[in-house]
Structures are given as structure tokens and as C-alpha cells.
A = this chain, B = another copy of it.
Amino acid sequence: MKDTATLQQKANLLRKWSMISTTEAGSGHPTSCLSAADITAVLFDRYFTYDIDQPLNIYNDRFILSKGHAAPLLYALFGMCGAYPLEELKTLRKFNSRFEGHPVPRFEFADAATGSLGQGLSVGAGIALASKREKINNHIYVLCGDGELAEGQVWEAANFASFHKLDNLVAILDINRLAQSGETMFGHHVDEYANRFRAFGFDVFVIDGHNLEEIDNTLSLANRNSNGKPVAIVASTFKGKGISFLEDKDGWHGKPLKKEDLKKALKELGNVSDQLSFDIRKPAKSKISKASRINISSPMHFEKEKEYATREVFGEVLAGIGKNAALIYALDADVKNSTFTENFMEASPQRFVECYIAEQNMVSAAVGLSRIGKIPVVATFGAFLTRAADQVRMARVSEANIKFAGSHVGVSIGEDGPSQMALEDIALFGAVPGTVILQPADAVSTEKLVPAMLNHRGFVYIRTLRPKTPVLYGAEEKFTIGGSKILKSSSDDVLTIAASGITVFEALAAAEKLRKEKINIRVVDCYCINPVDKKTLLQCTKETRQPIVVSVEDHFMHGGLGDFIAAALAGEQCTVHKMAVAKISQSGTKDQLLNEAGIDASAIITMVKTLIR
């Protein structure tokens, strides 16, 4: 190996700036950077192929820093690629700096926001899968810490990678022994990791993570790998490596060096020139994926007298659109015959991804797909999307363009019982800033809202129903994000019922019964839960006898449609009453459970009679 000395200097330059920047910031994780400086120096110096002027070029290699707290290392790496002067790292962790405490999209070379641990391998696997399927010959490198290998998601990702034969994926495991609050589960017993990754179908190399020659040889092998197996490089390292008083020492996690210690440390590193750089190669080809507007090619026909499950219509529409929209990927977690993404699978198998029962990996893999311009549609039971709540949170921080489809929402699923009911999903997605939440009640609105969802840039969550429901709308009706539909109104409505999904039909039934008692109520279908249609609802409060909106939803009481409506109408001359599910449900028929939950027609009638003066 030529030039080992220079390469060591480059590694030390990474060390130098990891320490300077964190000392300058007064916080951060310098020692977590130091353990990985050697291996990343070799990677960037010899193997990493990337166009720093085009981070989105789909032919780029990818480097995902799963151990996000080593962010200064990441910043130093791209600085040494010439993306910005290293001096700029002195703004680390300062307000409005692109160098945040953990990587976020503000730093344009980060493929995903990381910092919640154990997610990077999934992000990388998502990109690696697309590369494989689309015959792009790049490599996806993911740097993982050892502490984060305790996260189950890592093993979901490992299964996913080996099952899909992602031999373009290289997991670099920085086994530096020390986690935040003490030694990791396995310390320096690297075989524990090697055995696990081998059992999960990886090609495993165990190396000294500070031996540049060994690193180089291993990366060279990993790079030529084409046996269908993903690679895991288990690198035995030392936290704080290179600085005598930091190396392998307890109590240095997440601690910057004091100015004096920094001086001592830099002295130990010797004279490391800031002029050293990585002369990375650009990929031979260049392409950035851009989404074009999606339209339904052929409108569907729904018979007025028939009933349809919105989940089924969702699946059909998605499949139809997917055929001509090459950026759409559909991901499902072994419930494709319930969410009806199986239609998409049949129509566009090359863009369907079976993720098996591993929702966390599914969501983070979608983050990876989004990063390279795909439009991932992530589907499972709404209840099981909560399994990936942290991944959803981080996907939003990553500014990923993901469409979530949750089926089987609410107590209306019936006999399967509470474990399968999504009743907190609106709270979950609603808290995530800027998430559009849709819940079509019938076939027509579903047909129209699926393309609206796909064309919207950003997070969208669509709730679909298990049971079939009657057709409410004519084929000519328009549905938009932020809209609603008044389904029942008269000049003498006493108040307004704002319903969504299954409760729309309960509200309509209540209206019908009340009408016979000469009580008219207005019924609004809030097919868009967020942003909720404030304008229409406010107008209703002005046109009804009492300025009252009663929200009725198949969701728990807190965090649902009712809270969105209350927030939208806050400060207006009106009152919002919430009807929602207040306790854990059970098994039973749809009607029994809607009744028990107090959100059926009879409960609405009682509420209306209580409220009218």
C-alpha cells in the first residue's frame, strides 16, 4: 500500500477537526468520531465515488452515518472533499449552521437525518435495493456504532439486505466498546457481532479498524463483492483513538475537550496540514430523478348500489397509477392482501418491495428511496404504523417524501379486537408538522384522493377502512387536500356534525332519523383531517341555528379530528364537541363496537338532542 503516511495524516485531519469543532461548540461527541477516522479516511481516499456538486446524482456512492452523533466526522469528510473550508466547522452546533449536532437535510450531503440510532442500515438498504433493481453500479456504505446494534431495526435491515441480495451494501461497524453510559453489551468481543451478521446472511470481515492496510484490503474486497451477499466489516476500534488521554477511556462519551485538553491533543497529533484532501472520483454517469405530475389514466366505475372497501379502491388506484409512474415504489409488511398493495405488486413487481413483518425497516428504507427521488408508498395496518413511530419522526426530520397508507383503522374493524385497531394514528401523524391526513369514506373520494396524495410533495397519511361502505359521490366530484364535503344541509340545521371515514355513515343515519323528528342537522365529510377545512366548517357554524360543530371519529379522544377542528375554530364564535373512542375496545361486530364506543348514529342522536336548546 502506497502513501500510508499521508493517509494517516488525512485520518488525523479528520480527528483534528472533530475535536476543534466540538470544543468550539462546547458540546458534541469527539471520541465517537476518532474511532472511525481511520476507516472513513481510507474509504473516502480510495473508494468513495461521488459528485459533490450533485449530491442527488443517483449514480453516486452513498455514505450514511448511522451513528449520527459522529456528525463532526461526517462534516470533516465532506470538507476534505472540497465541499467547504474546514474552518467552517467552527460553526458546529450553532444556530442556523448547516453543521447541526446530528446530521439533517440542511447538510446537503446527508442522505438522511440520523441521531436516533439503528436506522442508517435501513436507509442504506432502501437505496441499495433501488440500485440493484435499476442496475446502477454504486456502493452504499453505512457506518454504524456498536451501541446501536442493540436496536432491533438493525436486524430487520440485515434480513432485508440479505434476502434482497444487496451485495452493493457495505455495513461498517465501528466496534469501539463504549456506549453512552458504559460498555456495550459485548465490549470488544467482535465475534459476537461477526457471528450475528454471518447468521443473518452477510459476508463478514473482522478487522483492526485502525490498521490502514487491513482496512484498505477489506474495502477492496468488499467493493469487488458480487456474490449476492451484503458485507459487514466488523472493525475493532478504540473510542478516542489517537489521543492518549481519550483512547478507550470511560467517561468521554458526548464530551468535548476543554481548550487546554484540545491543545494537548493537537500536539499529540503533530503537525497536520489543513491542505490535505480527498480527491474523490465522480461517477461516470449523472442523473437526478424528478417527479412529474401524476394523473389517473382511466377513471374507475363504481356502481351506486354496491359497496366498496376504501382499502381495496386504494390498492386498485395505486396499481393503475403505478404502471405509468416509474418513481413510485410500494412497500408492504406482509399484509399486501389486506392493504391491497398486492394489486401494485402484480402490475409493477419491479417496484414492489415485500418488507415482511418489519415496519421500522420499511419506513427507513422508504427514507432512502425518497432521497434518490422515488415516491415511496408505505402500507400496512394503521395500528402497525405505530411500530415505526420513531422512524416516521426521523423521516420527517429527513424531509422525506413518503406516502403512508394505514388500513384497518378504528373499532370498525370488528372481531379482531384492539390489537389490530388504529386509534392513535391521527395523533401520531398529526403531531408531525406538515403532515397531510386523508380519510376517504367511499370509493369515489378514495379514487380522487390517491393521486392528490401522490402529487403532494411531503408527508401524507391516508387512512383506509376494513369494511365496505356505500358510494357517496358521483364520478364528477372533486376532492382536494384541505377540502371537505357538505353531505346534508338545509336552511334549518340545528348544528353541524363533522365526521370522517366510517362515522360519515353514522352521521348520515343519525340525520335521517332526526329528520323524521323534524330536527335537521348538517353533515360534513371531513375527508381531509389535516389541514381541516376551516372555511367550510366556520361557514356552517354561521348557517346553523347553534354555532356548534360536533366531531365524530373512530379514533381515540385525544389527538384526532376533533382536536384539529377545535384548533382551526379556536377564537371563533362557536363551540366544538368531540365524540371519539374513550377506552380500549374489544372484539365484536362493527356495529356493536361503534355503539360501545359511543360514535354510532344513536350516540350522535343523543348528543344532538343534548346540545339543542
Contacts and interface: CB of A to CB of B under 8 A. Distances in A.
A167 interface: no
Contact of A433 (B96, B151, B432, B557): B557
A32 to B, nearest CB: 13
A148 interface: yes
A29 B21 CA distance: 58
A196 interface: yes
Contacts of A558: 427, 430-431, 530, 559, 563-564, 567
B147 A396 contact: no
Contacts of A563: 558-559, 563, 566-567
Contact of A592 (B25, B95, B114, B416): B95
A356 B358 CA distance: 20
B419 A114 contact: yes
A567 B566 contact: yes
Interface string A315-336: 0000000000000000010111
Interface in A355-397: 356-358, 360-361, 383-384, 386-387, 389-390, 393-394, 396-397
A159 B581 CA distance: 37
Contacts of A587: 93-95, 97, 100-101
B93 A415 contact: yes
A152 B150 contact: no
Contact of A104 (B198, B397, B418, B582): B418
A534 interface: no
Contact of A419 (B113, B155, B593): B113
Interface string A44-67: 000000000000000000000000
A593 B199 CA distance: 45
A150 to B, nearest CB: 4
A270 interface: no
B419 A397 contact: yes
Contacts of A94: 587-588
Count copies of this chain in the complex.
2
Contact of A199 (B106, B196, B560): B196
Contact of A559 (B416, B427, B582): B427
Interface in A9-29: 25-28
A279 B560 CA distance: 49
A403 interface: no
Contact of A147 (B356, B420, B530): B356
B416 A117 contact: no
B430 A559 contact: yes
A155 B361 CA distance: 14
A180 B332 CA distance: 12
Nearest to A198: B199
Given A27-B416, A100-B586, 13 more contacts: A93-B588, A100-B418, A116-B420, A117-B357, A181-B332, A396-B584, A423-B431, A431-B556, A433-B582, A433-B584, A558-B559, A559-B563, A571-B575
15 contacts: A93-B587, A95-B592, A101-B417, A115-B420, A151-B152, A151-B358, A152-B153, A180-B335, A180-B337, A181-B332, A181-B342, A389-B389, A397-B419, A562-B567, A570-B577
